[in-house]
Structure 1
């Protein structure tokens, strides 16, 4: 089994390192990394990892900046990732950390590390233990922040 990691050199934190570390800790899949310049390059990178490199799941890692144009680019990249999923019938786990989600560089690094690690755990569940995701349905899981928790019952 192969898991693809598509990341960018625009990011201010090496999210791929965090993803690879967590994936290696939790599964025995071969991990293939493909680094591109920015978030709008992630959809084709993910598609290449799936179609040409044989990955059964891809994590797309990006760190959009805080400006309105960065938000637009992140939205376009996200739309492209959804299209790539539909074109390949393969999960692409989008892991974006926006620079304005944190108040300091230390907090931004911590958020990037935690969100990436938690999404890597989700990737492992999708591939190896889907029943665990089903058990977590409706529990308000949040990657990178404290979980929101369940409402209503």
Structure 2
């Protein structure tokens, strides 16, 4: 049975971990969800790596909500680099799902964005494991997790003739 790890933070102002779990359960069966919660975004990389190495997760969804201040942005960048490093060290996808508090105009939109981004990235994690051809079909289509997709640019991308 495949294992999907979810790691979220207490710093976040929305429970994106439960949202990701809910979305995964809607998508199908044949996997076990293993969830951990850590204090903040800089704790996500080691938690994700532990889910892979100690719990045997095939993919991990790492969810965080950095604040709006410059130090929050710096911490998010450092956490992102740590998640990339953990992916490379384990040869396993870790889907980074950050929702920055200043991405939304108010708390209602922030909650909507956190919910939608968590759900769409949970779908991405599922597809990476079970239906990678679905992602291949969406290549070059301007997908965005959270806000509206931007769509492809004019003309057809792909191989030159």
User: Fold conserved (TM > 0.5)?
Assistant: yes
Please state how far the C-alpha of 1:27 moved relative to its aligned partner.
2.5
Q: Structure 2 CA distance, aligned partners of 1:62 and 1:81? A: 12
80, 84, 87: which is aligned to 2:86? 84
Q: Structure 2 CA distance, aligned partners of 1:27 and 1:86? A: 28
Q: Structure 2 CA distance, aligned partners of 1:27 and 1:44? A: 28
Which residue is 1:146 aligned to? Answer: 148
1:2 matches 2:10: no
Q: Structure 1 CA distance, aligned partners of 2:110 and 2:38? A: 21
Q: Helix, strand or coil: the match of 1:20?
A: helix
Which residue is 1:13 aligned to? Answer: 14
The alignment of Structure 1 onto Structure 2 pairs a total of residues equal to: 153
106, 109, 129: which is aligned to 1:107? 109
TM-score (norm 1): 0.99
Which residue is 1:55 aligned to? Answer: 57
- What pairs with 1:33-72 in structure 2 (closer than 5 Å)? 33-72=35-74
Please state how far the C-alpha of 1:146 moved relative to its aligned partner.
0.5
Please state how far the C-alpha of 1:16 moved relative to its aligned partner.
0.4
Larger radius of gyration: 2
Which stretches in structure 1 are left out of the alignment for 5+ residues? none
Q: Helix, strand or coil: the match of 1:2?
A: strand
Deviations 1:11-68 (A, max 9, x none): 0000001000000111221001110000000000000000001100000000000000
The runs of at least 4 consecutive aligned structure 1 residues that moved more than 6 Å come to none
TM-score (norm 2): 0.94
Please state how far the C-alpha of 1:110 moved relative to its aligned partner.
0.2
